[in-house]
Amino acid sequence: MKNLDQLAVYCGSASGSDPAFADAARATAEAMVREKVQLVYGGGRLGLMGLIADSVLERGGVTPWLSPGEFKALGYSMILYPTTLLFRLVRAIERGLDDLCAGRPLDEADSIDFARFEDLVDLEKWGAIEDRYTPKQG
């Protein structure tokens, strides 16, 4: 009888000072795949966390994406999705570049106006900094 379907793993974003740490991460991944236990993790791809996630995937294992509600049901109160927003931004940039290359005009539904942009980046503040540090001529 199987006792465990999923395992949440927390590892450092560094590889550690001892090669035994990496060996342990690989051994854990191997055991998880062998026992058909899914890896649940925050999506980091650095250090030991990335090593265990990659090792699970390379061996045919599963690392499911869980929604915030599913994490909450598991008892978590804070979840970080480090790549989720980045992937959306890259896709938006890709669509924008496609439109520019094809000569299509800006789609207002997929953008913000300049006033909103100025507010978001606090352009007035950055303008003041630029003025302060721009060398004076003369």
Residue 138 lies in a domain: no
Residue 4's pLDDT is what? 83
Residue 47 has pLDDT above 50, yes or no: yes
For 7-37, the pLDDT digits (tens) are 888 777 777 778 888 899 899 999 999 999 9
Indicate if 125 and 93 belong to the same structural domain: yes
Q: Centre a 10 Å sphere on the Cβ of residue 96 and count the other Cβ atoms it contains.
A: 15
For 74-133, the pLDDT digits (tens) are 787 776 666 667 778 888 999 999 999 999 988 888 888 899 999 999 999 999 999 999
Residue 2's pLDDT is what? 60
Indicate if 88 and 65 belong to the same structural domain: no
Residue 44 lies in a domain: yes
Q: How many domains does the chain have?
A: 2
CA quadruple 8, 27, 83, 60: dihedral positive or negative? negative
Cβ distance 40 to 66 under 8 Å?
A: yes
- pLDDT band at 1; cut points 50, 70, 90: very low
Secondary structure (3-state) at 40: strand
Indicate if 43 and 98 belong to the same structural domain: no
For 110-119, the pLDDT digits (tens) are 888 899 999 9
In 1-138, which residue ranges form alpha helices assigned H by DSSP? 19-34, 47-58, 68-73, 84-102, 114-121, 123-133
The pTM (predicted TM-score) of the whole model is 0.47
Percent of the chain whose predicted confidence (pLDDT) is above 90: 30
Indicate if 63 and 91 belong to the same structural domain: no
Query: Residue 62's domain is classified under what CATH number?
Result: 3.40.50.450
Q: State which residues form the domain around 92.
A: 84-133
Indicate if 55 and 16 belong to the same structural domain: yes
